[in-house]
Structure 1
Amino acid sequence: MEYASIGDDILVKLLTLGDKEAFEEIYRRYWRKLFQKAQRKVYAREIVEELVQDIFINLWEKRATVQIQTLEPYLFTALKYQIISHIRKQLQEEKFAAYAATESNDEINSLEETIAYHDLSRSIQQAMEQMPEKTRHIFRLNRLEGKSTREIVEMLNIPERTVEYHISQSLRFMREHLKEFLTWCLLFFLK
């Protein structure tokens, strides 16, 4: 069978049946396009290659269960979320590095405190990933980037009440999702 002449919709059907050659054809068609798109957002070639490779690994691993209506938009949406995830992780690492650089060795006096900080960061990240996209975006702007409500209103061109609502929702969401973690931290640091 000549896979190069087969349409995307047929390739997807063959992929769901486990056809390795269909997967390889999808890879040939879209790897460069995805790579070029990712390189506009993430400049390190190795990271771009890894992000694109992860998309194809996930596609192959989930081939039997994945629901793809149209292949190209599916792949580019997957790429968008891979890039967002990478940038989020990178920002988190940079924030921690900046924090650690400003603290003296005397202030970071135990391994337990460092582990607790990492656990808190991870818990916050996991909670943020569960928020609705708009709420998460506004929370990030307000709490992580330090933007005021007015700045967010101007930046996103949405009503002030909407921004306040999303900030309020995100804080309520964080309190709820971090309740167990914060209780544990309180007990840990009071011992």
Structure 2
Amino acid sequence: MAAGDQQAFTHLYRRYWKGLYMAAAKALRDRDAAADIVQDIFLSLWNRRTELQVEGSLAAYLQTSVRYKVIHFIERNIVRHDYVSQLSNIESSAMPPVAEIRLQLKDAQLIIHQTVSRMPPKMQEVYKLSREEHLSHKEIADKMGISSETSKKHIQHAMKLIKLALGQTASTASILAGFLLLKK
């Protein structure tokens, strides 16, 4: 592959794609994002083929690449893909028995709960309908007698408040990364 042999690359792609995709999809619970991540890894592999020096197992290198890409994806998209909301709903018993991560998770859950409780009543209601009852912007708007745009703005503002509150205390991305890596 380093010499530009496309057949060698195709062979590697076919051999490793499914396993890498499954690992990313399991961690993200988003098939499209998982497929994009795996595609990015193989594109990077091909683009850097002449300079890349893999020490040890290629499979291990690719799995590590998936982990780092997943963590980076979560860091970039923590609000947009609602990982903060998912984090607030994870039960402590579902966590691996690692005391530090459990404590960080409890702290994050407490911060989310406190932040939501300090929101104005209408924003709080919109947030809960969106995140707990999984209603769309339109369904929330119809239920509350507001516009879809107002519903969307309330949710965006609520998520910014939560992200800000979490960012001031603990590194949410590191909590999620620890959870994902230990869950394996």
Structure 1-normalised TM-score? 0.44
Structure 2-normalised TM-score? 0.46
